[in-house]
Structure 1
Amino acid sequence: MTDRNLERPAPGAPDFRYEEHESVGSTNTLCFDRARAGHPGQLWIRADLQTEGRGRRGRDWSSPTGNLFTSLLLIDPQPAERIGELPLAAAVALANAVDKAAGTLQLVDLKWPNDLLVNGAKLSGILLEAEVLDDGRQAVVIGFGVNCVSHPPLTLYQATDLRSLGFQVTAGRLFEALAASVAEQLAHWCQPGGFQSIRKQWLKRAAHLGKEIKVKTAQGEISGIFADLDARGHLVLKQDDGRQRTIYAGDVFLSDNHG
């Protein structure tokens, strides 16, 4: 019997490596540990259970057994100024993987920058973190948490899971679809102009495009119509006075308070 912890080719993406664990604190943290130890990257780490899962802006991420918890380590994937495009590429990859694993077409909508929604309820979270290593390499880690069989009852946003929606999708099956889908999107992303095809795919699933939204940023709350994504994937708001404003980071809510 193969030791699950041993690194091996990733299912669905043989050009990537893969580790599997019963329980870890955080798959993102473990990826950074591997990077600091000199790992060359293209490494997936998946766990059945996370005890210290985290989401965007330092929030806790509920991590019960049966859901998917996995992170991908990349080393110097592209110049640093392009790393901000990766959350959108990851969201498109995960949305496509959910469709493949569940046998659906356009099941999920995307909320900027990278949340997956079904009927307005949050199905997953994606957390991208980056660190410049002591040897000058940049480690980029993309963490995915997907509600396959359960979801937390009380969160900042309404949540859902695939089982509640009527889809029997195991974490293992979804991971294999995700690994293949991420490999495909990263290949697009690394091509000259490749992000534009990802941007177009993202906009086809955009949950709030053309709607009045509120964006909570570190500087305060901004309202306007979700008009577009710019060429780097930033949110473009059309404000009441007709001016357009580019948002680089923030939490999006519909103006009627339903995120």
Structure 2
Amino acid sequence: MTNPASQAPGLRIERHESAGSTNTLAFERARAGDPGNLWIRADRQTTGRGRLGRSWSSPKGNLSASLLLIDPQPRERIGELPLVAAVALADALDKAAGTFGLAKLKWPNDLLVDGAKLSGILLEAEHLSNGKTAVVLGIGVNCVAHPQDGLYPCTDLAALGYRVSADLLFDRLCEALKERLASWREPGGFSVIRRDWIARAAHKGQHITVKGPRELTGRFLDLDERGYLVLELENGGKETIYAGDVFLPGFEH
């Protein structure tokens, strides 16, 4: 059943008791002609996807949701969306938990608390037969449970002592992401997102290793104007990183 999102007028919500992947359902709706601004939630997700083809399954009590957008911005700007979503999710978490700056952001879009991963965000896009582009933001948050065998140390809100239900966090996320998307669409809007992302950045100024098409180690210097990570290498040069996984030196991966 699809209902209006009471906390964010203009958005609709489709909720399922169980689903394989909320991102997959969102693309099915897009191919069937849905106009977008549609959230799809599942109380339990069994075959969800993470970045770089990894799995992201989520038990009942955690948050699993995907937002379908149709042509949200010119295609060259779609890559900015994971950072928009990360800042919005960090905003929503503070509002739901009654905290200030609880989560740090690990490039490009993971939320960390005390160095452990709390959430994942997956951006996927598909060109539709009508010439439009369907963009789906999949968001998963560990509210009551977390995986024990991930690439990084993980945590959940309950383990941290925060009683934040998936329903409450989702309501706050609807509000926060709608506001951040509106800001992003304004002229120069991504500069505001970039500023707020950097204010929450984990590891800025520290030496990190980025594993992608090749592995590089250097000091996390900045984000460029498009949201890509800028590393300062040992030889004094700079390298712009477009995709990859960030690790602290010495972390086995």
In the superposition, the TM-score normalised over structure 1's length comes to 0.96
Equivalent position of 2:17 in the other structure:
22
- Contact 1:229 1:236 (C-alpha < 8 Å) held by counterparts: yes
1:258 positional shift? 7.1
1:218-248: CA deviations, max 9, x gaps?
2x10111000000010000011111111000
The share of aligned pairs that are identical, in percent, is 64
- Structure 1 counterpart of 2:74, from 53, 69, 79: 79
Q: Equivalent residues in 2 for 1:1-259 (5 A)?
A: 6-218=1-213, 220-257=214-251
Question: What is the alpha-carbon distance in structure 2 between the residues aligned to residue 209 and residue 198 of structure 1?
Answer: 16
Provide the secondary structure at the position in 2 that maps to 1:28: helix
Question: What is the alpha-carbon distance in structure 2 between the residues aligned to residue 238 and residue 71 of structure 1?
Answer: 35
Equivalent AA in structure 2 for residue 59 of structure 1: R
Question: What is the alpha-carbon distance in structure 2 between the residues aligned to residue 148 and residue 190 of structure 1?
Answer: 30
- Contact 1:129 1:142 (C-alpha < 8 Å) held by counterparts: yes
Equivalent AA in structure 1 for residue 240 of structure 2: T
Question: What is the alpha-carbon distance in structure 2 between the residues aligned to residue 120 and residue 258 of structure 1?
Answer: 15
1:11 positional shift? 3.2
Provide the secondary structure at the position in 1 that maps to 2:118: strand
1:7-48: CA deviations, max 9, x gaps?
121131111111111011100000000000000100000010
Question: What is the alpha-carbon distance in structure 2 between the residues aligned to residue 63 and residue 164 of structure 1?
Answer: 16
- Contact 1:11 1:179 (C-alpha < 8 Å) held by counterparts: no
Question: What is the alpha-carbon distance in structure 1 between the residues aligned to residue 229 and residue 135 of structure 2?
Answer: 22
**Tell me, which stretches of 5 or more residues in structure 1 are unaligned?**
1-5
Provide the secondary structure at the position in 1 that maps to 2:36: coil
Which 4+ residue blocks in structure 1 deviate beyond 6 angstroms? Answer: none
**Tell me, which stretches of 5 or more residues in structure 2 are unaligned?**
none
Question: What is the alpha-carbon distance in structure 2 between the residues aligned to residue 11 and residue 48 of structure 1?
Answer: 19
1:182-215: CA deviations, max 9, x gaps?
0000001000000000000000110010000000
1:152-176: CA deviations, max 9, x gaps?
1221110000000000011000000
Equivalent AA in structure 2 for residue 217 of structure 1: G
Question: What is the alpha-carbon distance in structure 2 between the residues aligned to residue 258 and residue 119 of structure 1?
Answer: 18
1:101-155: CA deviations, max 9, x gaps?
0000000000000000001100000000000001110000000000001111221
Provide the secondary structure at the position in 2 that maps to 1:14: coil
- Contact 1:126 1:142 (C-alpha < 8 Å) held by counterparts: yes
Provide the secondary structure at the position in 1 that maps to 2:208: strand
In the superposition, the TM-score normalised over structure 2's length comes to 0.98
Question: What is the alpha-carbon distance in structure 1 between the residues aligned to residue 148 and residue 240 of structure 2?
Answer: 33
Aligned length in residues: 253
Question: What is the alpha-carbon distance in structure 2 between the residues aligned to residue 51 and residue 172 of structure 1?
Answer: 19
Equivalent position of 1:3 in the other structure:
none
Name the Cα RMSD after superposition.
1.0
